[in-house]
Amino acid sequence: MGILSRKMTAAAVGAAIIGGVVLPSADAMAAPARPSAPAAAANAQGIGVDAFSHVLDITKTILDAIEAANKLKENRPGYVKSLLEAAFNAQELHENYNVMVINTGNKFNFTLNNVVYDAVAHDSGYPDFHIYVFDSGRFENQGKGGYENWAFRGWFDRPGNAGVVDFHKKG
CB of 150 to another protein, least distance (A): 14
CA distance 57 to 76: 31
Q: What is the dihedral sign for C-alpha 125, 130, 136, 137?
A: negative
Separation of alpha carbons 133 and 98, rounded Å: 6
Q: Which is nearer to another protein, 9 or 82 (CB)?
A: 82
List 4, 7, 15, 78, residue binding another protein (CB under 8 A) = 78
Give dist(CA 118, CA 142) in Å, integer: 20
> Is residue 161 near another protein by the rule CB under 8 A?
no
Stretch that binds another protein, among 70-78, 96-104, 105-113, 129-137 (CB under 8 A): 70-78
Q: Mind spelling out the 3-state secondary structure of 46-73?
A: CCEEECCCCCCCCHHHHHHHHHHHHHHH
What is the Cα–Cα distance from 58 to 48, expressed in whole angstroms? 13
Beta carbon nearer to another protein, 38 or 137: 38
Q: Which of 52, 110, 117, 147: binder of another protein (CB under 8 A)?
A: 147
Choose one: 2-10, 15-23, 98-106, 160-168; the region binding another protein (CB under 8 A): 15-23
Would you say 154 and 97 are in contact if contact means Cβ atoms under 8 Å apart?
yes
Least spacing, CB of residue 101 vs another protein, in Å: 12
The partner residues of 166 in beta bridges, in order of sequence, read 138, 157
Interacting span for another protein (CB under 8 A) from 3-11, 35-43, 112-120, 127-135: 35-43
Q: Per rule CB under 8 A, is residue 162 in the interface with another protein?
A: no
Binding site for another protein (CB under 8 A): 17-18, 20-24, 34, 36-38, 41-45, 71-72, 74-79, 81-82, 85-86, 89-91, 95, 125, 147
